Amino acid sequence: MSTSELAWFKSSYSGTQGDSCVEVATTERAVCVRDSKDVTRPHFAVGRDGWSRFVAFAAGA
C-alpha cells in the first residue's frame, strides 16, 4: 500500500504549531508511522501486536 493510500492521523494530544510529532495509519496487519514534519520521508510499519505493546509501555501500564 502506498503512502498516499493510507489514512494518516496525529494524536489528539498534538499541538497546532507543527512541532515534533508523528502520524500513524493502520492497515489490516500493521500500524504505519511517519514524521509529520517531513511526510516525503519513508514511513515504517510495525505489527499490531508490537504496536499494542509499545502503547501499553508508553502509557505506563
pLDDT category at 8 given cuts 50, 70, 90 is very high
**CA dihedral sign of residues 57, 20, 13, 43:** negative
Q: Is the pLDDT of residue 1 over 70?
A: no
What per-residue confidence (pLDDT) applies to 53? 95
What per-residue confidence (pLDDT) applies to 5? 86
Q: Is the pLDDT of residue 3 over 90?
A: no
Which neighbouring-strand residues pair with 47? Answer: 30
**CA dihedral sign of residues 36, 1, 47, 25:** positive
Q: Where do the structural domains in the chain lie, given as residue ranges?
A: 3-58
Residue with cell 516525503: 40
pLDDT digits (tens, 9 = 90+) for 11-60: 777 766 666 688 999 999 999 999 888 888 999 999 999 999 999 998 98
